[in-house]
A and B are shown apart, each in its own frame.
Chain A
Amino acid sequence: MFEITFAQEVARLSAVKKAAYRLAALCDIDIQATPSGTRCELRPTTDTSGAELVALLRATALDYELREEIAEKTSAFRDGLLALAFAPLTRRASEDGEV
């Protein structure tokens, strides 16, 4: 068994969970929230070595953390774009400055 702990400031729980999900074909991962952070216990299910899996989980979790940060920063744009894309094409009178 191999383990790694992610401090909350480094990778939030949701990012670690997504990384574990992504690596599910390579290893089983137990995830525990502890006072020192998110602790992961890895059990390889393929030929990939434990050290490689730990490195892979670390890199994958950090990438998912970055994705979460980008999603947070851009969520207003994304929601606005989708709303506009699905909105009727006709403009409301108020948008043209008419009363």
Chain B
Amino acid sequence: MAKFKLPGEFFAKELHGYEFLPFKFHRLKTGRVFVSNIVGEWLVLDKQTFELFISSSLKPAAAAYADLRARHFLLDRDSGVAVDLLTVKLRQRLQHLRSVFGLAIFVVTLRCEHSCPYCQVSRQSDDRASFDMSTIHADAALKLLFDSPAQDIKIEFQGGEPLLNFELIQHIVLKAKRLSEVNGKAVSFVITSNLATLTDDVIAFCAANNILLSTSLDGPPELHNKNRPRRGGNSHQLAADGIARIQSLLGPDRVAALMTTTKASLSRAVDIIDEYRRRNLHEIFLRPLSPYGFAVKTNWFKAYDQMEWLQFYREGLRYIIDLNKCGERVIEVYASTILGKMLTSRPGGYVDMMNPAGIGSRVIVFNYDGYIYASDEARMLSEMGDKTFRLGNLSADSLADLVLTDPLLDAIEETVLESVPMCSDCAFQPYCGADPVYHHATQGDAVGHKAFSGFCNRQMGIFEELVELMDTDPEAARILSSWVRQ
């Protein structure tokens, strides 16, 4: 006799009425109720329908009944394949667990000619020996990466200002391409740059090697230059010129920009979005300050709270949706990422939004000094003196040494949302992330108390905003759905 029942026997029951499949709920400020299930399918119900549903009194003829059955909230006599479908969708939602190192960040230098008060890590220095990555370390990182099980690798160059060590970028790109051919692995490249030192040689190299560029654009000139000071006070001009040259020479989709919200940004959501439109940038990532590095030392991180940022985000999002209603396609990237998780079974590739956390598994950071970190935020934390998420060193450690360290495994295991207080009962859990580094940095604990978590407050605010928009405004719902990448 088999020790376990077969799946068909396990789930088979003579049904009268309906049974619940696992689901969670969240009461919206509108009085309606958001319900989601184990694979992230969701519905918004009016309160009366919700009460009928949970009291097992909802009639099959009710308008919501078919939706609840189709989206796997209830099981009745006609739900023959519900369990199989849920299993397949759950597998798909967890597929990221099978892949490693989708993103490898190379910090080729810590040097930068900007002195942004909110920056996490950069140094104004000409000391290449102290702050540039060596070729030996770069080669060791590539070996580790291409010896790993990773199949589809995105290499992102960061700094400091990575173009200040462009020679090493060239070396890494050319060597990675050779290794990808030998190993049969896909590789792509992104340079994250302020574009102040962009040259024709850089653009030509990016063209020849299919390299994307990502830059910072905080808004109109006076706001951008205030946030991002450099000698000459011309950061905005250089960024705008760089964006225009890349768009002209490489193509309009070869450069992306993102902004960081400072206190001075809060009242200027519309101005910031209009600046992006002026630069022919049709995707904007409305991003709050992170609690790391100089942003903490200079107290810029504390200059506003999450509620103020959420107000800024809502204003920006509503403006962007209005632009779309007028026929102009503009996308808010963070909303697009969340919607991808809400409207598809795909897990999404944004590390902060992964569950279990993607630190040290989906992303790995090779720092300029040879040390290896579990995420970009982990190396920023390290610059503040906290080495908790430092995995090892390129000179000494093997792949197994790196990914099997106790601090990393403990942080990932402890922060799996299904077992975290508050998260375990949260209806937005299927779309959220663990972000242990944030909670370690702000609360000294990888799990953190979510009632005091800025991350949780921000996420909840955005989820509620998106759900309420989709629930109350059909045109906004259509626009938001169109933002999901195919």
Query: Given A80-B11, A81-B83, are A67 and B54 neighbors across the interface (CB < 8 Å)?
Result: no
Say whether B422 contacts A21, CB under 8 Å: yes
- Output the nearest chain B residue to A64 by Cβ-Cβ distance: B425
What residues on A are CB-neighbors of B451 within 8 Å?
21-25
Mark interface residues in B126-155 (1 if CB within 8 Å of A CB, else 0).
Answer: 000000000000000000000000000000
What residues on B are CB-neighbors of A71 within 8 Å?
22
The listed residue (B6, B91, B94, B449) touching A95 by CB distance below 8 A is B6
Q: CA of A81 to CA of B93 in the docked complex: distance in angstroms? A: 13
What residues on A are CB-neighbors of B27 within 8 Å?
63
Say whether B422 contacts A80, CB under 8 Å: no
Q: Does B350 contact A (CB under 8 A)?
A: no
Residues of chain B in range 56-77 having any CB-CB distance to chain A below 8 Å: 75
Say whether A77 contacts B421, CB under 8 Å: no
Q: Does B23 contact A (CB under 8 A)?
A: yes
Q: CA of A18 to CA of B24 in the docked complex: distance in angstroms? A: 15
Task: Give the size range of A's interface with the partner.
Answer: 20 to 34
Residues of chain A in range 45-75 having any CB-CB distance to chain B below 8 Å: 63-64, 66-67, 70-71, 73-75
Mark interface residues in A11-30 (1 if CB within 8 Å of B CB, else 0).
Answer: 00000001001111100000
Say whether A74 contacts B23, CB under 8 Å: yes
The listed residue (A18, A66, A70, A80) touching B7 by CB distance below 8 A is A80
Q: CA of A18 to CA of B20 in the docked complex: distance in angstroms? A: 23
Q: CA of A78 to CA of B6 in the docked complex: distance in angstroms? A: 16
Q: CA of A67 to CA of B24 in the docked complex: distance in angstroms? A: 7
Say whether A67 contacts B425, CB under 8 Å: yes
What residues on A are CB-neighbors of B452 within 8 Å?
24-25
- Output the nearest chain B residue to A95 by Cβ-Cβ distance: B6
Q: Does B398 contact A (CB under 8 A)?
A: no
The listed residue (B19, B20, B87) touching A81 by CB distance below 8 A is B87
Q: Does B2 contact A (CB under 8 A)?
A: yes
What residues on B are CB-neighbors of A95 within 8 Å?
6-7
How many positions in chain B have a CB within 8 Å of any CB in the partner chain?
28
Say whether A80 contacts B10, CB under 8 Å: yes
Q: Does B90 contact A (CB under 8 A)?
A: yes
- How far does the Cβ of A57 sit from chain B's closest Cβ, in whole Å? 13
The listed residue (A22, A70, A75, A82) touching B422 by CB distance below 8 A is A22
- Output the nearest chain B residue to A24 by Cβ-Cβ distance: B451
What residues on A are CB-neighbors of B83 within 8 Å?
77, 80-81, 84
- How far does the Cβ of B412 sit from chain A's closest Cβ, in whole Å? 16
Say whether B11 contacts A77, CB under 8 Å: yes
Best-surrounded residue of A66, A76, A81, A85 (most CB of chain B within 10 A): A81
- How far does the Cβ of A77 sit from chain B's closest Cβ, in whole Å? 6
Query: Given A24-B452, A25-B451, are A74 and B94 neighbors across the interface (CB < 8 Å)?
Result: no
Say whether A66 contacts B54, CB under 8 Å: yes
The listed residue (A18, A82, A86, A94) touching B6 by CB distance below 8 A is A94
Residues of chain B in range 10-50 having any CB-CB distance to chain A below 8 Å: 10-11, 19-25, 27, 38
Q: CA of A85 to CA of B2 in the docked complex: distance in angstroms? A: 20
Q: Does B86 contact A (CB under 8 A)?
A: yes
- Output the nearest chain A residue to B56 by Cβ-Cβ distance: A73
- How far does the Cβ of B399 sit from chain A's closest Cβ, in whole Å? 24
Say whether B20 contacts A70, CB under 8 Å: yes
Q: 11 A-B residue contacts at CB 8 Å?
A: A22-B422, A22-B451, A24-B452, A63-B27, A67-B24, A77-B75, A80-B7, A80-B10, A84-B7, A94-B2, A94-B6
Q: A-side interface residues toward B, CB under 8 Å? A: 18, 21-25, 63-64, 66-67, 70-71, 73-78, 80-82, 84-86, 94-95
Q: B-side interface residues toward A, CB under 8 Å? A: 2, 6-7, 10-11, 19-25, 27, 38, 54, 75, 83, 86-87, 90-91, 94, 421-422, 425, 449, 451-452
What are the 6 A-B residue pairs with the smallest beta carbon separation, nearest first?
A85-B90, A74-B22, A78-B22, A24-B451, A84-B87, A25-B451
